[in-house]
Structure 1
Amino acid sequence: MTTRLVLDGRLLHYNQTGIGRYLRHLYTAMARVAAQDGLPARAELIVAYHRKDQERSLARAWPRAATTHTPAHHPLERWALAAELIHLGPALLHAPDHVCPQPLGWRTVLTVHDLAFWRMPHSHSVASRAYYSGLRRSAEQATRIICVSDATRADLLGYTGISADKVRVVHEAADPVFARAEAAPSRHASERQYFVMVGTIEPRKNVDTAVRAMAGLVAGRAADDRPELIVVGSDGVGAAATKSLPDQLGIPGDVRFVGPQSAQEVAALYRGAQALLYPSLLEGFGLPILEAMACGAPVITSDRSSMAEVAGDAAALVDPEDVGSVEGAMRRVLDDGAFRDTLVQRGARRTAQFTWERAARETLAVFAEALES
């Protein structure tokens, strides 16, 4: 009887960034690795798409596919998706978004990205918190759990009390587009030097502190020597108040909010930036850190959560709750060319340590563990 592995690919349709992007890179790299090494237990692999997904972006990598009708994050997902999966007869299911359907005779590998919905609940809607409350049950039922960082692993163990024996860490990697040497400048860049922030405008990303640090940085500088801050990302909780802050601080011309941008445009912004400014209060991984490093941009990021873990010694680490600490790092990157060059060199070495092929190989190893358990 054929061993069947099912990958829950529903978020490929619903989420073009975040976990959707994680799935595209991981599952595509998994196909390349499987072509060389084979699949665990000589299994066949099926990607389960949602019925509205006409693109089926992994069809070339994994031709075998199934169609599901249960939407991602549906209140009845636990049982409705489980009922659909019965007909596929999986030996193992990969549930990539914190919560799994009820296992009905199959093993489950669950991926956990972060615990912001518990640690910073005000950053999530009521419906989102209700859905992710299923993590505790899912963690107990999963055969193996993949966390994307040691920081997330520590959070998961602390909040759920599950056995550490079934939890593995598999790091993510930057989108390959950020490693391509392209000369095209960003359409959002001007002749001014600039720092760039990337992420949803919400309290967890700590944009307010960055804006306050910017106000301190430009104070007293001549008009032709004032850098600007370009903020890339969609509006989240509290975005309106954050966007009004530059006016309140008297620096309306020094901060620009440009909304969400394509990966190509973000890469162009990284390449021209004095640094990526990433003083987040909590992350599960922190992909912009590796993205910026791959583009040759220095990185200023937080000294906590997963950010210090991902950055290593290749970034300027700051206390994200101390405006002076953030401002000081920005000032040093701006005024100390030797320091900036050191960060660029270290960043290139650091980002090279994280690849999707490595993540795919380690994920397949976890699948094999789960099948053998």
Structure 2
Amino acid sequence: MLMMLRTDKPSRRCAINGRFLAQPMTGVQRYAYEIVSALDAILSTEPDAALAFSLVVPPQTRHPIDLQRIELVRTTFGSGHVWDQITLPRHAADVGLNLANFGPLLARRQIVCIHDANTFVVPDSYSRKFGLAYRTLLPIMGRMAARVATVSQFSADMLVKFGVTRRDKIFIAPNGHEHVLRWDSARARLPILQQLTRPYVLLLGSTAKHKNVDVIIRQADALDAAGIDILVAGGAFSIFASDGPAATRRNVHHLGFVEDDQLAALYEGALCLVFPSKTEGFGIPPLEAMAKGCPVISSNAASLTEVGGDAVLYVAPDDGQGWRDAIIRLSQAPDLRRSLSAQGRKRAELFSWKRSADLYLNELLRLATSRPTPSV
């Protein structure tokens, strides 16, 4: 339940790090965008909220955001981590909120969401420069911040295991599903969906090694014989190390980056989403698929069983035959597909941006009204 402290006028201020609006929209940026939007919606119903919020953004923002109660503060110089450390602190408030892994390293009265410990868990998946930077800076953030949010119990366990932060500092604020309800497949223009004459499985992910997309591509010939195509969506990012592009087969169609409405159409038309990742801090594609009624076959690794519960079919990440058998089985079992679709929709409702925003608001209120304590 939301605990709102009320005063006639907000006596304390919270500055939200808006650098995520200047970054490409991946899962981390989606999380920050949706939490800020949900916070704004909550504040719009609480005219006497005890905290006044501002969203401080760099000059080169990419994504518009519509806010009613949170003040948008545009800065005029800086970018990247330099902006975090030099520009953002000039707009310091009583408390700070950082939703995309990093913030001012020297600020103590702040919350930082560290989404995962993947650069420790799977260091070979990342470029040398990126991995070294994260393995150096994340423990500093985890030590200096007053509170550390993360998105799953698995992620919390990994942050503790690798010394990023203490367990008593952590609270879990998962991803939500409501953004999917705004997507409209009727607006999508995807010629491939008109060209295909057979069922398809949807494979999402970058070329990062831990996304493990090749385990599905290696089943392409067997799936082709079973009358099933594979649509591969997602972009490559420079932060990841890769073994190169997945091999091409006649039933494998590479779509590259797709917009939200296009993704909605892909989910709605798919036989299932296949998600063979070896590690995830949360893993939002299975949640999105479930919210759209798309059956899911997922890896049983890391946080993914937390997300899918009993509404998903699971396969060990490297069990190629298991993936092939699960896909073909699902293609031949319409009752199972309908059951997974219904269970998935119900499961998705357990994950809410609003509930996670409530958690942040309560933590920020406690932090704003507490006495400063040393971070160690």
TM-score by length of 2: 0.87
Letter in 1 for 2:209: P
Distance 2:261 2:357 in 1: 24
2:95 is matched with which residue: 68, 88, 92?
92
Q: Within 5 Å, give how 1:1-373 maps onto structure 2.
A: 2-37=11-46, 42-53=50-61, 56-60=64-68, 62-67=70-75, 69-72=77-80, 74=81, 77=82, 81-104=84-107, 106-132=108-134, 133-160=136-163, 162-174=165-177, 176-178=179-181, 182-183=185-186, 186-189=190-193, 190-219=196-225, 221=226, 226-236=227-237, 237=240, 241-243=244-246, 245-246=247-248, 252-373=249-370
- SS of the equivalent of 2:174 reads coil
> Residue by residue, what CA displacement relative to the aligned partner does 1:126-162 show, whole Å, maximum 9, x if unpaired?
2312331201011011111100111110100111163
Distance 1:358 1:67 in 2: 30
Q: 1:294 to 1:50 in 2, by over 3 A?
A: same
> Residue by residue, what CA displacement relative to the aligned partner does 1:254-287 show, whole Å, maximum 9, x if unpaired?
1111100001001101100000000111111111
Following superposition, the deviation at residue 20 of structure 1 comes to 2.2
Letter in 1 for 2:324: E
Distance 2:208 2:260 in 1: 20
Letter in 2 for 1:17: T
TM-score by length of 1: 0.88
Q: 1:199 to 1:61 in 2, by over 3 A?
A: farther
Letter in 1 for 2:109: R
Letter in 2 for 1:156: L
- SS of the equivalent of 2:255 reads strand
CA contact under 8 A between 1:207 and 1:242: conserved in structure 2? Answer: no
Distance 1:348 1:363 in 2: 25
In structure 2, the residue matched to 1:249 is: none
Following superposition, the deviation at residue 54 of structure 1 comes to 7.4
Q: Percent identity?
A: 25
CA contact under 8 A between 2:84 and 2:104: conserved in structure 1? Answer: yes
Distance 1:86 1:258 in 2: 41
Q: Which has the larger displacement, 58-67 or 278-287?
A: 58-67
> Residue by residue, what CA displacement relative to the aligned partner does 1:209-231 show, whole Å, maximum 9, x if unpaired?
01123333334x4xxxx110000
Following superposition, the deviation at residue 369 of structure 1 comes to 2.9
Following superposition, the deviation at residue 16 of structure 1 comes to 2.6
Distance 2:338 2:90 in 1: 56
CA contact under 8 A between 2:75 and 2:87: conserved in structure 1? Answer: no
Q: 1:340 to 1:179 in 2, by over 3 A?
A: farther
Following superposition, the deviation at residue 184 of structure 1 comes to 6.4
